[in-house]
Structure 1
Amino acid sequence: MNEVVDKALRGMALLSVRNIRHWTDRTFSFRCERPAGFRFRSGEFAMIGLMVEGKPLLRAYSIASPAWDEELEFYSIKVEDGPLTSRLRNLAEGERIVMRPKPVGTLVHDALNPGRRLFLFSTGTGIAPFASVIRDPETYEKFEQVVLTQTCRQVAELDYGRDLVARIAADELLSEMVGDKLTLIATTTREQSPAMGRMTDWIRDGRLATATGAPLNPETDRVMICGSMAMLQEHKAICEELGFIEGSNSAPGQFVIEKAFVD
């Protein structure tokens, strides 16, 4: 049996779990050790999971920690009957997850042409890759303004993003790097909050332009999008209507979505 497990783990990394935090009854995050020599670009994802009946059960998870971090962070939704998340949600510190150490993804700077403003549109746990991007020095070297948006159903589901931005502001090095370039726009769709509505509606009715100083413009703005399938398709359609060209690692453009989650 050990030989079978060893074969199944070939090419995988076993990572000890640390710092688990349950944000709501639907979301949680955890940190784990980073394999020696493991490199990734902020915004990429990796295949992570658990050993189940002697085999690795893996799913794509965006890496929420920046590329310079000594640990890896992941932010996940809890799905009661999900093959993997129903098990991951019960993780305890000291347990180990498995990871295929081959990060990939299109939510990276290499897939975008230079611009002045960077918009990061997310819903729910789609904020995870942007948690990495907004802590990357390259982001602030390339853009004069960074706008992170997150839309959730309930107010409590916005806590991860708000806590992240607060920690950046409280960190001496990060706050100096970010300065006043980063703006968070957090909205809800069900529970009443100071900012209501989907970001697609904000784009269409001008609220986003009012909040950020100017409408989306393919000449100056670059866009990354991460969320549900319907959200991705709607945001992509809006970008294309405005004249944005989709980019990729091989052909940089003006907006990108994570193709792995779409396909």
Structure 2
Amino acid sequence: MTSPAPVARPSPFHEQTVLWVRHWTDSLFSFAITRPDDFRFRSGEFVMIGLPGEGGAKPILRAYSIASPNWADELEFYSIKVPDGPLTSRLQEIQAGDTVLMGKKPTGTLVLDALTGGERLWLIGTGTGLAPWLSVARDPDTYQRFRHIVVCHTVRNVEDLAYRDFWTREIHEDPLIGDEARAQLIYYPTVTREPFETAGRITDRIKSGDLFTDLGLTAGFSPERDRVMLCGSMAMIKEAGELLETYGLKEGSNAEPGDYVLERAFVG
């Protein structure tokens, strides 16, 4: 009597094809992969991304915010390059046609569902913490829920302002939300290590009031009016969260929406 053939276990990952890669600087790059037909996500969520292990080793995966909006045909990601990083040292070498692993379950708190209603949405990020804002700011629901959207991006050097042309020009030509972006979206970059028209950390510009002065707004955040999302360095998220609390804003979550949210998966 022959033994039944072993049943193959379904893979916990999708195997997707790289569509394009763009290297912004020696330390920053973006790439896009094919999207499975059954893959659904909310703009602002993250998913596990990785590469097959070498020499039979287990795959290495890390959490990556999805930079494309929930309606897009492809899935875009924005990454740093870590020379000795277990994943990015290899991931930065990918080319169109290569295979990338992707988890099957997106998740995260940087979603509109985790915020209560408001008038103005602040998307505050440092470095590659810009990625979820590329998704949220291309979602038509964002413009229906908020009258104004302010994208704040803080980097060390001017060359690190990846997607600057997108925020200042290309998003205005988007066939789905271009008109809304022209009327409702403000891009506010800051640079910490080089001369720039808006220099310094975003938290310092909040505390000094320069952020609000530059935008012609009343100083400070209002629990009645402002909603905030935070993504990026642990130091910025901690400091900004404490600042928001002093203005009376309360942290929200998927289970209990609030005035501001942050992504704890990247904070430790």
- TM-score, shorter chain, exceeding 0.5: yes
Residue aligning to 2:244: 239
Superposed CA RMSD in Å reads: 1.3
Q: Percent identity?
A: 51
Q: In 1, Cα distance between the equivalents of 2:94 and 2:62?
A: 16
Quote how far apart the aligned CAs of 1:75 are. 0.2
The correspondence for 1:56, drawn from 55, 59, 67, is 59
Q: In 1, Cα distance between the equivalents of 2:249 and 2:134?
A: 24
One-letter identity of the residue aligned with 2:17: S
Q: 2:82 matched to 1:75?
A: no
User: Structure 2: 5+ residue runs without aligned partners?
Assistant: 1-7
> 1:190-216, CA deviations, whole angstroms, 9 ceiling, x for partnerless residues?
011221011111111111111331231
One-letter identity of the residue aligned with 1:238: L
The correspondence for 1:163, drawn from 145, 166, 169, is 166
Quote how far apart the aligned CAs of 1:181 are. 0.5
Quote how far apart the aligned CAs of 1:164 are. 4.2
Residue aligning to 2:14: 13
Residue aligning to 1:124: 127
Quote how far apart the aligned CAs of 1:223 are. 0.3
Q: Which of the pair is proportionally richer in helix? A: 1
Q: Is the 8 A contact 2:140 2:176 kept in 1?
A: no
> 1:50-80, CA deviations, whole angstroms, 9 ceiling, x for partnerless residues?
0013322110000000000000000000001
Q: Is the 8 A contact 2:116 2:259 kept in 1?
A: yes
Q: Is the 8 A contact 1:111 1:249 kept in 2?
A: yes
Quote how far apart the aligned CAs of 1:172 are. 3.7
Q: Is the 8 A contact 2:126 2:233 kept in 1?
A: yes
User: Structure 1: 5+ residue runs without aligned partners?
Assistant: 1-5
One-letter identity of the residue aligned with 1:41: R
Q: If you compute each CA radius of gyration, which structure gives the higher value, 1 or 2?
A: 2
Secondary structure, counterpart of 1:90 in structure 2: coil
Q: Is the 8 A contact 2:50 2:102 kept in 1?
A: yes
Q: In 2, Cα distance between the equivalents of 1:161 and 1:65?
A: 16
Residue aligning to 2:3: none
Q: Is the 8 A contact 1:209 1:216 kept in 2?
A: no
Quote how far apart the aligned CAs of 1:101 are. 1.4
Equivalent positions of 1:203-222 (< 5 A) are 203-212=206-215, 213-214=217-218, 215-222=220-227
The correspondence for 2:197, drawn from 183, 194, 218, is 194
Residue aligning to 1:43: 44
One-letter identity of the residue aligned with 1:256: V
One-letter identity of the residue aligned with 1:224: M
Residue aligning to 1:226: 231
One-letter identity of the residue aligned with 1:124: G
Q: Is the 8 A contact 2:229 2:262 kept in 1?
A: yes
Q: Is the 8 A contact 1:45 1:63 kept in 2?
A: yes
> 1:215-253, CA deviations, whole angstroms, 9 ceiling, x for partnerless residues?
311111000000111111011110111111000000000
Secondary structure, counterpart of 1:40 in structure 2: coil
The correspondence for 1:249, drawn from 254, 261, 264, is 254
One-letter identity of the residue aligned with 2:259: Q
Q: Is the 8 A contact 2:139 2:177 kept in 1?
A: no
